[in-house]
């Protein structure tokens, strides 16, 4: 264990472009370049690795909720958070529609099974707030079930917090115009068509109804113990950096990066004879023979310019 344990303080990323104060001549904003984004994202992801180690060592229980409209960017930030983390410590849960049996259970019952044990982080890609959003707008629950959710949800979350769970809730806010652009992009991309379900298209028609439902949900569940943190997400890259930076600032942790590891030398067994390589079945080499692989060019390719 490193002797230099540095306490992580609650502050945003240092390199985040500063906002110019209105009416004053200040320094020009730094350009938000692709290079800056990638370097800052990598730096934040390294901090996430340190946070993960701290969560494991201290036996913390962390739940992070990601909510927002369809195409608001929840999946993108979840992907960047988990990119370098151990799935045994940090896992993502995205429940499908409830079964007929689950519909007869206490509403929160199937979500409690997803809660973390000591030393775990759970990222909920949508959560129990389905009842306050899609179920309310689409008529999948009764008015009484909806009212009961608004009454019981704050107390349910207080109960989780009293049990020792660290609960953080994010709402990704996307504009009408930007959501439309992203939907159009999905329509014309065969790799993204799976992201457009009939429910997504129906929710697009009910923009105002979802807005009203969100306002009511915030009025009842934006509590002192479990506040909603709104992430403006018209710019996906800014949203990712801002959200990850805030997540890191919300959980005090220490850098317990171990000392550099030295790999032991392999043991050589002179009497061991490996079976002939011809006994093994290999996948067809469809690319190695006809394509030149250049690592430098590979790194420079912009695989998804809209990502």
Over residues 52-72, the pLDDT tens digits come to 999 999 999 999 999 999 999
Which residue, among 136, 137, 140, has the nearest Cα to 153 in the 3D structure?
136
pLDDT (tens digit per residue) in 174-225:
999 999 899 888 888 888 878 777 777 777 889 899 999 999 999 999 999 9
3-class secondary structure, 304: coil
Question: Which pTM value belongs to this model?
Answer: 0.83
Q: What is the dihedral of CA 103, 109, 114, 119, to 10 degrees?
A: 180
Which residue, among 119, 122, 70, 68, has the nearest Cα to 94 in the 3D structure?
122
- The pLDDT of residue 58: 98
Count of beta carbons in the 10 Å neighbourhood of residue 187 = 10
- The pLDDT of residue 98: 95
Q: Are strands 61-68 and 165-173 parallel, antiparallel or unpaired?
A: parallel
- The pLDDT of residue 38: 97
Dist CA 220 CA 200 (whole Å): 25
Under DSSP, the state recorded for 279 is G
The fold of 34-250 is Rossmann fold (3.40.50)
Give the residue extent of every domain in the chain: 34-250
- Classify burial at 52, counting beta carbons within 10 Å of its beta carbon; exposed 0-12, middle 13-18, buried 19 or more: buried
* Residue ranges of the chain whose pLDDT lies below 70: 1-26, 290, 292-307
- The pLDDT of residue 302: 53
Residues 160/111, Cβ–Cβ less than 8 Å: no
Dist CA 216 CA 263 (whole Å): 57
């Amino acid at each position: 264990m490193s002797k230099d344990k540095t306490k992580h303080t609650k502050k945003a990323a240092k390199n985040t472009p500063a906002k110019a104060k209105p009416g004053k001549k200040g320094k020009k904003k730094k350009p938000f370049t692709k290079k800056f984004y990638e370097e800052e994202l990598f730096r934040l992801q390294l901090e996430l690795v340190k946070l993960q180690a701290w969560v494991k060592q201290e036996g913390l229980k962390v739940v992070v909720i990601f909510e927002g409209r369809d195409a608001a960017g929840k999946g993108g930030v979840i992907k960047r958070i988990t990119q370098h983390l151990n799935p045994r410590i940090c896992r993502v849960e995205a429940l499908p529609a409830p079964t007929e049996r689950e519909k007869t259970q206490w509403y929160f019952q199937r979500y409690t099974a997803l809660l973390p044990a000591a030393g775990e982080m759970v990222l909920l890609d949508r959560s129990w707030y389905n009842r306050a959003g899609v179920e309310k707008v689409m008529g999948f629950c009764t008015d009484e079930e909806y009212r009961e959710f608004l009454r019981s949800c704050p107390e349910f979350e207080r109960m989780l917090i009293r049990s020792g769970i660290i609960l953080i809730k994010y709402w990704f806010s996307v504009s009408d115009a930007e959501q439309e652009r992203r939907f159009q992009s999905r329509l014309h991309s065969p790799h993204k068509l799976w992201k457009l379900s009939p429910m997504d298209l129906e929710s697009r028609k009910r923009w105002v109804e979802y807005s009203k439902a969100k306002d009511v949900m915030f009025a009842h569940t934006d509590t002192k113990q479990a506040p909603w943190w709104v992430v403006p997400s018209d710019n996906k890259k800014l949203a990712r950096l801002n959200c990850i930076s805030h997540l890191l600032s919300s959980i005090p942790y220490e850098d317990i990066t171990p000392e550099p590891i030295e790999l032991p030398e392999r043991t050589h067994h002179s009497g061991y004879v490996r079976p002939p390589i011809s006994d093994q079945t290999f996948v067809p080499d469809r690319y190695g023979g006809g394509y030149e692989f250049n690592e430098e060019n590979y790194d420079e390719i912009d695989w998804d310019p809209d990502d």
